[in-house]
Structure 1
Amino acid sequence: MDSIVAEFDPEKHPRTTFNTSDEEKHVSDCYFLESVDKIRFSYEAAAVDEQSGRLKVPKEMALNKVGHALHWLDPNFRKFTFHERIKRIVSLTGAIEPRVMQSMYIFKQPYIGGATNEHVDSTFLHTEHPNTLLGIWIALDPARLDNGCLWFIPGSHKGTRDV
């Protein structure tokens, strides 16, 4: 991810911010919606000055996430995404003919990082048939109760649930 961020020029991208409580905004955000086959960047809301649109902190500390075609466009992410070990783990869930719909790198920035509210991934990724969406979350840093680790509903991969 370091090389992707190093090559990223904030002047060539809009100051799109992302959070899970802003679902309505993302429905009409073309930069977000058209990211399915691109590598796009979203910022923490607190990192962008509302008046000027300028970043308040260095770009490395301003990013919320990078997505959504890392698995196709970045060789390191592609190698990891399609690794046999990942395929084996997915097969254990009972998924039939799984496809990768998106990939993202989510930053957890100190001091300005926003909370990720409880949500159901299918709010953002719609499928024709219920129970066909599986999300995989891999922590790259230690994830503990005291630093905001992921919570999930056990067995939630087996059916639809409201949060």
Structure 2
Amino acid sequence: MTRKLYLLNGPNLDMLGQREPELYGTTTLKDIEAQSARIADEVGFELEFAQSNAEHEIIGWLHDAHYDGAAVVINPAGLSFQSVPVLDALRILSIPIVEIHLTNIHARDEAHRHSIMSTVATTVIAGAGAFGYELAIRAADRLAADRATA
């Protein structure tokens, strides 16, 4: 049986490499997708990689992950701080959820320091830049394996 991993990216992450490179770096989302596909294959995940600027699409993919029994890595981006609908969709999941942020959101201004998604995430990775995606996939792999043997 193939294990599935949904790696979901929120608003404006399609602009990585162009948007505030001093903050987010020069790596593009396409670069992250290619690296993520290699790591997912290495650890035995079938990868569903997606990005949307539309909240409802992310919610639909979270529902798909629920039905597939898939692990989830999510960079909710700007939705992190106020999107109750995405939070509610994450609450449906009974599988590992890894929340990821390119920057250390805990060091940001007060309005962008507290992700409401963290309240349901199994673990949070923040501040490792694009490398954080590799860490997140490996964390999802370990968490899914631990859950399968529990």
**TM exceeding 0.5:** no
* TM-score computed with the length of structure 2 as normaliser: 0.28
> Which fold has the larger relative contact order, with Cα–Cα distance below 8 Å and residues 6 or more apart in sequence?
2
Query: Which one has the bigger strand percentage?
Result: 2
* TM-score computed with the length of structure 1 as normaliser: 0.27
Query: Which one has the bigger helix percentage?
Result: 2
